[in-house]
Copies of this chain bind each other. A is one copy, B any other.
Amino acid sequence: MSVNTFGRLLRFTTWGESHGPALGAVVDGCPPGLALSETAIQPYLDARRPGQSKFTTQRQEPDAVRILSGVFEGRSTGTPISLMIENVDQRSKDYSEVAKAYRPGHADYAYDAKYGFRDYRGGGRSSARETAARVAAGAVARLVIPEVAILGYVAEIGGDAIDPARFDPAEIGNNPFFCPDAAAAARWEKIVDEARLAGSSVGAVVECVASGVPAGWGAPLYGKLDADLAAAMMGINAVKGVEIGDGFAAARLTGEQNADPMRPGNDGPVFTENHAGGIAGGISTGQPVKVRVAFKPTSSILTPVETIDRDGQATEIRTKGRHDPCVGIRGVPVVEAMMALVLADHKLLHRGQCG
């Protein structure tokens, strides 16, 4: 089966391959009357766009989005919003090697096993290029939740973490790593560059915090806010782990240590801690919603790896071409987009049931 739609009331469907003519998303269920134009979407695509530093792939894509439907006189109409991004820099190269042999860590073998054949050009549908469509859809979702501020950043690269004491959101835009710690950014420059020059790759951890989420969003028991976030994040290319709040660290705390005490406040309760990451019983509590996402190192590396070809014969493969040495970096706008999409959907779901 193929499931290219995400969401319940606010749903989006994406389409497109890495080397096809275009890719896109259809966003359905958006409330009417929201101010929407290409300029509301483009900045988020620009943040994700490749080729902006030597730390990302050198594929040059303007990623210019076009709105084809669902907007009239600058406002959403409540009908489906079709977003299209043309592919421009599908470099004409020789794919014969990838066509024949399976790149370990990539979806090559799995797609062949499932579908019998695959569009091998640049990874086809399994390419992270598809995340441009998610980012475009996420920009629409942000309009649905103006009360929420979403902040994503890289917290760790190659095992080197930021120092929480140095956390400065203003730094995030000052370096090519979405890093909120200037000192860490300086170290990462070396780490990523070394990986790049060696034809190797490194992993990363992305964090994302949504502030302003009111208490009460979530759809227990099988559309819990945290479960939906987990699906949204684990579904991003190269992601292997998701944590809400303290995540795995919570498993090493006692009940006393892990409690989030509540105090009276002027505008609802004040939580003096946030181990829970803003979600209890699958429903938002009014605390900031916090998620941590682990990205594996890019599977495309120059070092030859043992593999087999389509005929099952032993061979080895090294992945040439243009790749991100740390795919987690450009994951930040994608994580933010998925956060926005999940929250917007749950805002509408809550309103639908509970008025």
> Are B219 and A1 in contact, with the CB atoms below 8 A?
yes
Q: Is the CB of B68 within 8 A of A20?
A: yes
Interface membership of A307, Cβ < 8 A = yes
Given the complex, which residues of B lie within 8 Å of A114, measured CB to CB? 32, 78, 215-218, 283, 350, 354
Q: Are A240 and B234 in contact (CB under 8 A)?
A: no
Given the complex of chains A and B, what is the CA–CA distance between A240 and B277 in angstroms? 9
A110 touching B234 in the complex, CB below 8 Å, given contacts A11-B5, A115-B33, A261-B104: no
Q: Which residues of B contact A247 (CB under 8 A)?
A: 240-241, 294
From the candidates B214, B253, B268, name the one contacting A297 in the complex (CB within 8 A): B253
Residue A50 CB within 8 A of the other chain: no
Query: CB of A171 within 8 A of chain B?
Result: no
Q: How far is the CB of A76 from chain B (nearest CB, A)?
A: 9
A3 interface contact, C-beta 8 A: yes
A353 in the interface (beta carbon within 8 A) = yes
| A255 neighbours in B (Cβ, 8 Å) | 105, 195, 200-202, 297-301, 303
Given A16-B69, A251-B296, A261-B306, 12 more pairs with CB closer than 8 A: A1-B352, A2-B353, A3-B219, A26-B26, A79-B119, A105-B255, A106-B281, A110-B215, A110-B279, A226-B240, A240-B247, A255-B297
